[in-house]
Amino acid sequence: RILLSFLLLQSILILWIALYFTIREKENNLQIFSVQLADIQNQFLASNRFLQNFLISGHEQSSFYQTKEQSDIDTFINRLKSDLIKIEDLKSSSKKYNIDLESSLDTLKYFSEMIIHHSNDLKNAYLQKGFKDFGVEGEMRNYAHFIEDSTNISTVSILQLRRHEKDFLIRGEKKYAYKFDAIISELMVSFPVTSTEYVYLIKYKTSFLKLVKLYTSLGIHGDSGMYKEIYTLIKNTDYQYSKVNQKAGLQIALLQDNFKKLLIGISLFSLVISLILTFVLSKKLTKGISDLEKRMYAFIKSRFKSDGAENAYSSKITEIARLNKDFLLLKNTLNETLEN
C-alpha cells in the first residue's frame, strides 16, 4: 500500500510536470511566431532601399542593359519572393497554433505579389527606356546626332529640338513635348518624303514620342504611373504588416493568458487530488495501527481480561499482522502470569 500510494502521488507529479512543459512549449512557439512575423516586416522595410538604389543610380549602369540584370532591383524582387515563402510558413504555423490570421496573411501575400509584378514591369520599362547609348533613349540620341552631323537641317532648328527634348527629360512637362512635336512636324514638311532628312526626322520623332510614353508610364516626373503604384503598394503592405502584427499580438496575449489560467487550474486540481489521496491513503495505511491501539486500550481498561475475539483479528499488512501477533502473545503471557 505504501508503494502504491507513492506511485499514485508520483504519477500526479509527473503528469503536472508534463503539462507544465507542454504549456511552456506552446507559449515559446507563440513567441517564436511573433518574432518571425516582426522579422519579415523588418526585412520588407529594409528591402525598400534596394528599390531606391535602382531608381537613383542602378538603372544607369551599362551592365544592366547588356545583361538585363541589376543587383539592386533583382535583390528587391528576390527578397519579396522570399517573403512570400515565409508568409506561407506563417499561415501554416497560425493554423497549428490556433491563431486566426489566414485572411490577413492572404492580404499580405496579395500585396507582396502585386509589388513583385509591378517591380518586374518597372525593370522591363527601364530596359526599354534605356540610358545614354542603350534602349529608346540611346536610339533617339543616335538619330539626333546623325541629323546634326549628316543632314542639311539648320543648326537653329536642331538646337530648338534638342532644347525641348532636354527640357522634357529633365522636367517632365508635356508642354516641351508639344513644342518638340510642333517644330519637328514643321521641319518634316520642308523635305521630300524620300529624303534622308525626312526619314531621320521621322525616326527621331518616333523615338522621342516612345520616350515620352515611357516617362509617363513610369511616372518619373509625375504623381502617377509605376512609381506611384509601387510606393502605394509598399505603403499599404507596411500598414498591413502592422495590422497583422497587432492582431497577432492580441491573439497571442489571449492564448498566453488562457495557458496561464489552464496551468493554474491544473496546479490547483493536482493539489486538491494530492491532498485527497494523502488523506484517504493515510487513513487506509493507519487503520490497522488504529484498530490495534483500540484493542490494546480495551484490553487495559478491562483489567487484562481477554474475550477471545482478538484471536479472530487479521490484517493483510505484514507489519500490522506481526504487531497483532506480538500483542496476542503479550496478552496470553499476562493472563498466564495473573492466573498463577
- Helix/strand/coil (H, E, C) string of 50-95? HHHHHHHCHHHCHHHHHHCCCHHHHHHHHHHHHHHHHHHHHHHHHH
Cell of 323: 504487531
d(CA 220, CA 262): 58
pLDDT in tens, the chain (340 residues): 555 655 666 776 777 677 767 767 777 877 888 888 889 989 999 999 999 999 999 999 999 999 999 999 999 999 999 999 999 999 898 888 888 888 989 999 999 999 999 999 999 999 999 998 899 999 999 999 999 999 999 999 999 999 999 999 888 888 999 999 999 999 999 999 999 999 999 999 999 999 999 999 998 877 788 999 999 999 999 998 888 888 877 777 777 777 777 777 777 777 777 677 667 666 666 666 666 677 676 667 666 666 555 555 566 566 666 766 766 777 677 677 766 6
Rounded to two decimals, the pTM is: 0.72
Predicted pLDDT of residue 260: 77
Predicted pLDDT of residue 49: 94
Phi, psi of 222 (to 5 degrees): -115, 180
Q: Is 260 helix (H, G, I), strand (E, B) or coil?
A: helix
Q: 225-301 and 2-56 are packed helices; what angle lies between their axes, rounded to 10 degrees? A: 170
Predicted pLDDT of residue 120: 96
Which residues lie closer than 8 Å to 169 by C-beta, 6 or more apart?
A: 211, 215
303: left (phi over 0), alpha (psi -120 to 50) or beta: left
Predicted pLDDT of residue 161: 94
Residue with cell 517644330: 183
Predicted pLDDT of residue 286: 65
d(CA 296, CA 310): 10
Q: Is 101 helix (H, G, I), strand (E, B) or coil?
A: coil
CA nearest to 119, candidates 64, 76, 79: 76
Predicted pLDDT of residue 114: 95
Cell of 266: 491544473
Cell of 242: 502592422
